[in-house]
């Protein structure tokens, strides 16, 4: 049987989470899968070659364990512990999402551009501002 390491230690060494206690909570919450099998204990073992699926708040990470860590080192050292298999995020093709929301004519307060146009109309017709 090859070398193995606790999942909470590996997550901490690989810099997936900020502390080992957060790594233990992540594992106990069932948000980590090892080779597609759900785990619920921080003491679950991980080996080289295992594929981890980690569900974080806004994303899902898929890592293949390349090495077991011995310490929490710099990020460059942590990147050597895993291979990132996470699929790329889908690109936004909807260009209307980047446009500012339109408001219906006459709804709410006038914008600065509309206030200038109103002021220009009033001065053109001789009304005091």
Q: pLDDT tens digits for 45-86?
A: 999 999 999 999 888 999 999 999 999 999 999 999 999 999
**Domain boundaries, given as residue ranges, for the chain:** 5-84
Q: What is the C-alpha to C-alpha distance for residues 67 and 22, in angstroms, rounded to an integer? A: 21
Predicted local distance difference test score (pLDDT) of residue 92: 66
Tokens of 108: 């709410």
Q: Does domain 5-84 have CATH number 3.10.290.10?
A: yes
Single out the residue of 34, 1, 2 nearest to residue 11, CA to CA. Answer: 34
pLDDT-derived band at 108, boundaries 50, 70, 90: confident
Question: Hunting for tokens 């901490």 — which residue is that?
Answer: 12
pLDDT-derived band at 111, boundaries 50, 70, 90: confident
**Helical (H) or strand (E) element with 28:** helix 20-28
Report the Cα 45 to chain-centroid distance in Å. Answer: 26
């Amino acid at each position: 049987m090859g070398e193995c390491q606790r999942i909470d230690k590996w997550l901490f060494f690989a810099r997936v989470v900020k502390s080992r206690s957060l790594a233990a909570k992540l594992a106990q919450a069932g948000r980590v899968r090892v080779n597609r099998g759900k785990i619920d204990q921080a003491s679950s073992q991980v080996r080289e070659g295992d594929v981890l699926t980690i569900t974080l708040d806004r994303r899902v990470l898929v890592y293949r364990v390349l090495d077991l860590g011995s310490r929490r080192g710099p990020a460059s050292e942590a990147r050597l512990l895993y291979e990132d298999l996470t699929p790329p995020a889908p690109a936004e093709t909807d260009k209307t999402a980047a446009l500012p929301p339109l408001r219906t004519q006459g709804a709410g307060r006038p914008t600065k551009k509309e206030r200038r146009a109103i002021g220009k109309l009033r001065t053109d017709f001789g009304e005091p501002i």
